Amino acid sequence: MANRLHRLGRSEAANGLVLVSPPAIFAVLLLAAPLGLLFLYSFLTDGYLTILWEFTFQNYRDAWSDPLVRTVMLRSLGVSMMVTAITVLLAFPVAYFVSFHVRPDRKSLWLFLITIPFWTSYLIRVFLWKVILGYNGVLNSGLLGLGLIDEPLTFILYNVNAVVITLAHAYAPFAILPIFVALEKIDRSLLEAGRDLGESDLMTFWRVTLPLSMSGVVAAVLIVFIPTIGDYVTPQLVGGPEGRMVANIIHLQYLRLDNYPAGSAIAVSAMVMVTAISLLFLFLNRRFLRGRK
């Protein structure tokens, strides 16, 4: 009997592996292998239009000793962190509202409305932020019309601020969904218990709801922070020269200068930094993530 069960288990495992193999092989060939090669390239030498198989750390030394690359790299990290903080802080009340104050049969509609803009014409949306934030833009003409300002604001386009605003807009739904899912899982009787034990609404939120939703907040932070650092379109269109980010130099190295090793070294450096920060963040929040599967 035990033997048969064992065999059944083994065949189940085998079935599962066979079934998962097409997407898994695809991911290994087109994701894992290319990422490995990217890593390898970053240690090779660039011979104009070819890549020489000479192992070197020079690409990393060049990248990190170049003040331009260093500035752009740190700026990208800063922008990503700001975007993440703004996005998650703005998103939390919305997720809370949909989870706690919207009728259950209306929740899907709200989530649908929130996700629509995320999937429509990313490029054109970014371009329209230029129209909104520009010198003759919607915001400036609106504020001028209302008499709130005397001359157009110039600090909101072609710099880091514009990049932050535009990215915070682009990634908003990404932050709302994980927080919403975590809030939905909270057992509502815990909140009643909190109030019955004499806590105020605010303290109940602080001591029950927030800690229980932290897994969603952490997921939201990572799902916004990691992709934003590699955004190319937004800094290119609204960032101006002082808003360039790391994707713009990767693009420059790859497509303009045709220097794959240098581009790879910058890409790998950026990914290593992002991963390190993400792991640190996970570590700092470990008590919220433990035992909540």
Q: Which of residues 147-186 bind other proteins (CB under 8 A)?
A: 169, 172-173, 177-178, 180-181, 184
Q: Which of 175, 183, 223, 238 contacts other proteins by CB under 8 A?
A: 223
Determine the straight-line distance between the first and last CA of the chain, rounded to whole angstroms: 32
Q: Does position 113 bind other proteins by CB under 8 A?
A: yes
Q: What is the rounded distance in angstroms from the CA atom of residue 80 to the CA atom of residue 83? A: 5
Q: Does position 255 bind other proteins by CB under 8 A?
A: yes
Q: Does position 136 bind other proteins by CB under 8 A?
A: yes
Place of tokens 């800063």: 78
Give min distance, CB of 232 to other proteins, in A: 5
Q: Which of 6, 7, 8, 17 contacts other proteins by CB under 8 A?
A: 17
Give min distance, CB of 267 to other proteins, in A: 6
Cα distances from 68 to residues 74, 141, 211, 243, in angstroms, run 10, 35, 41, 12
Judged by beta carbon, residue 24 or residue 74, the one nearer other proteins is: 24
Q: Does position 257 bind other proteins by CB under 8 A?
A: no
Question: Cα angle vertex 159, ends 88, 71, to 5°?
Answer: 85
Judged by beta carbon, residue 119 or residue 283, the one nearer other proteins is: 119
Judged by beta carbon, residue 193 or residue 272, the one nearer other proteins is: 272
C-alpha radius of gyration, the chain, whole number: 24
Judged by beta carbon, residue 156 or residue 247, the one nearer other proteins is: 247
Q: Does position 272 bind other proteins by CB under 8 A?
A: no
Q: Does position 282 bind other proteins by CB under 8 A?
A: no
Q: Could you tell me how many residues of this chain bind other proteins (CB under 8 A)?
A: 88
Give min distance, CB of 178 to other proteins, in A: 8
Q: Does position 85 bind other proteins by CB under 8 A?
A: no
Give min distance, CB of 169 to other proteins, in A: 7
Q: Does position 216 bind other proteins by CB under 8 A?
A: no
Q: Does position 37 bind other proteins by CB under 8 A?
A: yes
Q: Which of 108, 149, 211, 280 contacts other proteins by CB under 8 A?
A: 108
Binding segment for other proteins among 64-72, 105-113, 190-198, 281-289 (CB under 8 A)?
105-113
Q: Which of 119, 150, 188, 283 contacts other proteins by CB under 8 A?
A: 119
Q: Does position 15 bind other proteins by CB under 8 A?
A: yes
Q: What is the rounded distance in angstroms from the CA atom of residue 107 to the CA atom of residue 44? A: 52
Q: Does position 211 bind other proteins by CB under 8 A?
A: no
* Full 3-state SS string of the chain: CHHHHHHHHHHHHHHHHHHHHHHHHHHHHHHHHHHHHHHHHCCCEEECCEEECCCCCHHHHHHHHCHHHHHHHHHHHHHHHHHHHHHHHHHHHHHHHHHHHCCHHHHHHHHHHHHHHHHCCHHHHHHHHHHHHCCCCHHHHHHHHHCCCCCCCCCCCCCHHHHHHHHHHHCHHHHHHHHHHHHHHCCHHHHHHHHHCCCCHHHHHHHHHHHHHHHHHHHHHHHHHHHHCCCCHHHHHHHCHHHCCHHHHHHHHHHHCCCHHHHHHHHHHHHHHHHHHHHHHHHHCHHHHCCCC
Q: Does position 260 bind other proteins by CB under 8 A?
A: yes
